[in-house]
Amino acid sequence: MPADLNDYFKKRGNGGDSQNNNSGGGNNFKMPQFNGFDNKKALPIYILIAVILLLIVARPFRVINSGELGIRETTGIYSPNTLEPGLHFFVPFIQNIIVVDAKVRMMSYVSSRPSVALQKIGTENVETSSVISHDSISVKDARNLDFKIDLNVLYRLDRTNAPSTIATWGFNWETKIIDPAVKQVVLEVAGKYNAEDIQQQREAFAREVKEGITKSIDVQKGNLIVLEDVQLREIMLPEDIRKQIERVQIARQETERTRYEVEKARQDAEKEVALAKGEADAMKTRAQGKADAIKIEADANSYANLQISKSLTGQLLQLRQIETQAKFNDALKENRDAQIFLTPGGAVPNIWVDTKDKQKQSSIGQ
């Protein structure tokens, strides 16, 4: 405390003592002395303490995590530029940073659904669940038949236009933009199909619903939402239609089984025909090979005979006759009782019969 204040309280204390003594009573009051404390040196400490208290109370900063984006609000006006993940500061009591979920979210339409929790953190409205559930969508098919559809719609907030989207539609923007578009489009698309056909054309139906929702959202000013996917979960048909579909499916399965058996029988028959044709071709090939071999052999023999016939000249034949006659002459010397037969038109005997041994006969032919 300053020295002049110490003097002041000291004088006040002395005066009080005099008065109390004159009055015959009272307590003596003495203020503590701060002569060793310099107020000018303490001023920075006071300022530092005040700043720390201000930071603790006002928290003029915000941490934006991955998958989130920030919107800077100044006196109720949103900045058009979004804040990316990281640490950001703002002016307390004048500005604020609102954290918005920018991850892929899902709006689910199911027969049994859990509640969606909303939590208020400071001045921020943050939805703690990334799934918003609604009841199944009641629709009518092309024959005006009532049934229900369960599906999931995956989407996310467009980061570039998030401030304008929040400023225009508020923090429950998805229930104002996505939900009406989904119900309207599903109702319109389902009216083009028969209920039992949607089950067989799930992908085409989901694709048409996605295209319709995209067009419905694009009608709004600016790119508000990015539609990721539409997943058809279940089609809840009336009991009589469901049983009819089951009968049709059983009949189709039976038709497919019969078609399979017929096709298998046809393939087996074609296989047998192919095997028989292959065997016949093999036999034909073997027979042709044998015939070709015989023909080749006959041609070879014919060629050989032709060559032999060409070599049989008159002189050669006379030589052979002389040689044969010489053999008979030698035989007659050994067996004078032998009989010689002449061939018709031949001048040289060519049959020899040994008359000594009736059981043994030999012939020599040329």
Query: 103-237 domain in CATH 3.30.479.30?
Result: yes
Residue 62 region by backbone torsions, left for phi larger than 0, else alpha for psi between -120 and 50, else beta: beta
The domain locations on the chain are 3-58, 103-237, 239-311, 315-353
- Name the pTM for this structure: 0.52
Q: Are 62 and 70 in contact (CB under 8 A)?
A: yes
Which structure tokens are listed for 58?
Answer: 């006002």
φ and ψ at 16, to 5 degrees? -65, -35
pLDDT in tens, the chain (366 residues): 444 445 544 555 554 444 444 444 444 545 444 444 556 678 888 888 887 887 777 788 889 999 899 999 999 899 999 999 999 988 888 899 999 999 999 999 998 654 443 333 333 433 446 888 899 999 998 988 888 999 999 999 998 889 999 988 988 888 889 999 999 999 999 999 988 788 788 889 989 999 999 888 888 766 788 889 988 888 888 787 778 778 877 888 888 888 888 888 888 888 888 888 888 888 888 888 888 888 888 888 887 777 777 776 777 667 777 777 777 777 777 766 666 655 554 555 555 555 555 544 444 444
